Amino acid sequence: MKKLIVVDWLDKYGGAERVISSLTTIFQFDTCYTLVNLMSKQDQNQVFSEKKTIIKNSPLQLLKRKFRYLFFLFPYFIRKMKVNTNVRLIFSSSFSVSKGIKKSSSEQIHISYIQARNQRYLWDTEGVYFGEFSRFLLSPLLSFLKKTDIKQASNPDYLIANSKFVQRWIKENYKLNSQVIYPPVDVDKFILERNKKNYFVTACRLEPYKRVDLIVKAFNKIEDQLIIVGSGSQKKYLQKIAASNITFIDYSDSSVVFEYVSKAKAFIHAGIEDFGIAPVEAQACGTPVIAIKKGGLKETVIENKTGVFFETQDDEAILKAINRFNKIDFDYEFIRNHSLKYSTSNFESKIKEFVESKTKNDKI
């Protein structure tokens, strides 16, 4: 059976790319369609390690890292990608527009794994992606793109959501049903560490929607040590406003994340995640989580057992959560055991079972 995977774009190895790697391990895709491939060879090998997957790009590849300036053309370019009639299984991994790929034959089956609230900049109501004036100017375009997004969401035969939070979002905005299968977490690499040290940690891409600025502002008011692992557009700004008790570590690979997360007294996360792999990785190490009580983290963190929540995205709420955290004696082994339900093996078995049930015994 010929199999095709469609992804929005390939740039850095992160949570979405881990899902793609697992999917490729299971289904051995012949071809990968993507708008743009900017991945280093090292990262690309992590996603398609020892797989003979042919990667095909759209004309947006010519713009390289400036391709995002043409975000309004993403639906057009994904629609123009032609699927060969000999492809039986189309699997899209979508956080933006890849779900919009069109079948070329009614015999084909298109399954889309929805990695996140798709094209969040279209649905943003909190001003994270556009300022108030810019959103006003762009409102006709954004309205058109939103309608296009809703229409393209109907292209797949089946939708899989990566969390109940995303499942509800799909139902509310696309009016479509989906099945939840949680993404893979490498709990074999992030192993239990009982000997914790006296510092807090966060690890993520340093982008505005992650709200690391709130964590920095909170730790500017106390003397506790904070380690921030990551890179991104906000790094220089965060370094500029950070007090001396805050240390920045560049992200290079998962071993760096493990080194600091496994030994931390707690992992702090202030962004609203669709699922949130990093906080689950922390729990796999036995490290409790302090997080916003919204999004996918409400499903993966057990309050007062594997972490504590704060209700609002502000620095004072984070400080109050830290105070509550300091009064709880956490069971690191319990936290580790809780994380195992999100293992890579669980994900791969559930995805394979789902696809086999929809392909009606065709050999995959």
Residue-by-residue DSSP string for 306-359: TEEEESSSSHHHHHHHHHHHTT----HHHHHHHHGGGBHHHHHHHHHHHHHHHT
Does the residue 222 lie in any domain? Answer: yes
Classify residue 301 by its DSSP letter.
-
Q: Are residues 354 and 337 in the same domain?
A: no
CA–CA distance, 36 with 55 (Å, rounded to integer): 10
> pTM for the full model?
0.91
Q: Are residues 144 and 211 in the same domain?
A: no
Q: Are residues 177 and 225 in the same domain?
A: no
Does the residue 189 lie in any domain? Answer: no
pLDDT digits (tens, 9 = 90+) for 294-328: 999 999 999 999 999 999 999 999 999 999 999 99
Structural domain containing residue 37: 2-184+344-358
In terms of Cα–Cα distance, which of 227, 211, 291 is closest to 261? 227
**Rounded percentage of the chain residues whose pLDDT exceeds 70:** 96
Does the residue 178 lie in any domain? Answer: yes
- 3-state DSSP assignment of residue 241: helix
Q: Are residues 70 and 138 in the same domain?
A: yes
| Confidence (pLDDT) at 128 | 66
| Confidence (pLDDT) at 13 | 82
User: Is pLDDT at 132 greater than 80 in this prediction?
Assistant: no
Does the residue 79 lie in any domain? Answer: yes
Q: Are residues 236 and 114 in the same domain?
A: no
Q: Are residues 88 and 157 in the same domain?
A: yes
In the numeric block, which tokens belong to residue 41?
Answer: 């060879």
Q: Are residues 170 and 251 in the same domain?
A: no
| Pairing verdict, β 109-114 and 266-269 | unpaired
Q: Are residues 204 and 348 in the same domain?
A: no
User: Is pLDDT at 50 greater than 70 in this prediction?
Assistant: no
| Confidence (pLDDT) at 174 | 97
Rounded to the nearest integer, the mean pLDDT of the chain is 93
| Confidence (pLDDT) at 136 | 78
Counted domains in the chain: 2
Q: Are residues 154 and 133 in the same domain?
A: yes
Q: Are residues 234 and 168 in the same domain?
A: no
Does the residue 225 lie in any domain? Answer: yes
Q: Are residues 256 and 166 in the same domain?
A: no
- C-alpha separations of 310 from 12, 237, 253, 290 in Å: 30, 24, 29, 8
The answer to whether 38 and 15 are in contact (CB under 8 A) is no
The answer to whether 256 and 229 are in contact (CB under 8 A) is yes
CA–CA distance, 205 with 246 (Å, rounded to integer): 17
Query: What CATH number has the domain bearing residue 206?
Result: 3.40.50.2000
The answer to whether 103 and 83 are in contact (CB under 8 A) is yes
pLDDT digits (tens, 9 = 90+) for 257-300: 999 999 999 999 999 999 999 999 999 999 999 999 999 999 99
Q: Are residues 209 and 313 in the same domain?
A: yes
The answer to whether 171 and 197 are in contact (CB under 8 A) is no
Q: What is the mean pLDDT of residues 188-211?
A: 94
Does the residue 152 lie in any domain? Answer: yes
| Confidence (pLDDT) at 125 | 65
